[in-house]
Amino acid sequence: MVSAAPRLSSTILSYLKRDLLLREGHFEFRSGRHTNALLDRDLLLADPESASRMGYALAKEFFTNKVDTIATPSIWGAGLAQWIAYFLEPRAKVVHATPMKSGERRISENLHVMISGKRIVVVDNIIVSGETIDQFTGMIEDLGGEILRVGTLWDLADRHIHGYEVFGLLDELYPAWLPEECPFCARGDDDLEQIPY
């Protein structure tokens, strides 16, 4: 889908670069995908200025969705979700999952009321392999939530996860290639930086 306005304004992009939250290069993620950019997911949400800018850019995408709840599977996603919910009108609630020792996630029972029968947007900061979002959207469905959209700053996995199209702010500018599709590899750039996630 091609939209008239870019997902991420050039102003936001220039801030990201200025604040070193985004740097360009040649990167390989654990999923095997290659990119020519890296977003500093920790720093990004350490600064309310940049976090709120990103949150607003995503909220804009969901303005007309009549969202009750932003649901997120991760602590990084929770920081972003607060901003998105804040910028929606009326403001949405935020539900997050807590990791357990087993590695699974659970959603506290007193939050279920904000999921069952509610209009949900699922958000995470960065979608790397897609596994977390795949499991989490299943959890939300099992709890009776109606998932309207799935959104993220950057989707490095498939464009569709658990049957939902993923909206990623950085996806148009910085696609995540399979190694055999990577234009940097194709032109012989073997200075590949391994990313530990």
Smallest distance from Zn ion to CB 156, Å = 13
Residue 90, preceding peptide bond in cis (omega within 30° of 0): yes
What is the Cα–Cα distance from 162 to 96, expressed in whole angstroms? 19
Our finding on whether 185 is near Zn ion (CB under 5 A) is yes
Our finding on whether 164 is near Zn ion (CB under 5 A) is no
Beta bridge partners of 22: 39
Smallest distance from Zn ion to CB 155, Å = 18
Half-sphere exposure of 192 (CA within 13 A, CB side): 19
53's tokens? 């800018």
Our finding on whether 182 is near Zn ion (CB under 5 A) is yes
Our finding on whether 15 is near Zn ion (CB under 5 A) is no
Q: Describe the strand order of the beta sheet including 22-28 as a list of residue ranges.
A: 34-39, 22-28, 193-194
Smallest distance from Zn ion to CB 119, Å = 39
Closer of 29 and 136 to Zn ion (Cβ) = 29
Stretch that binds Zn ion, among 41-49, 88-96, 128-136, 183-191 (CB under 5 A): 183-191
Our finding on whether 184 is near Zn ion (CB under 5 A) is yes
The site string for Zn ion over 46-85 (x = CB under 5 A, - otherwise) reads: ----------------------------------------
Our finding on whether 86 is near Zn ion (CB under 5 A) is no
Measure CA 7 to chain center. Answer: 13
Smallest distance from Zn ion to CB 171, Å = 17
Stretch that binds Zn ion, among 61-69, 120-128, 162-170, 176-184 (CB under 5 A): 176-184
Handedness of CA 95, 69, 13, 7 (dihedral sign): positive
Smallest distance from Zn ion to CB 88, Å = 37
Our finding on whether 34 is near Zn ion (CB under 5 A) is yes
What is the Cα–Cα distance from 71 to 41, expressed in whole angstroms? 18
122 with 136: CB under 8 angstroms? Answer: yes
142's tokens? 């099992």
Half-sphere exposure of 38 (CA within 13 A, CB side): 18
Our finding on whether 195 is near Zn ion (CB under 5 A) is no
Binding site for Zn ion (CB under 5 A): 34, 182, 184-185
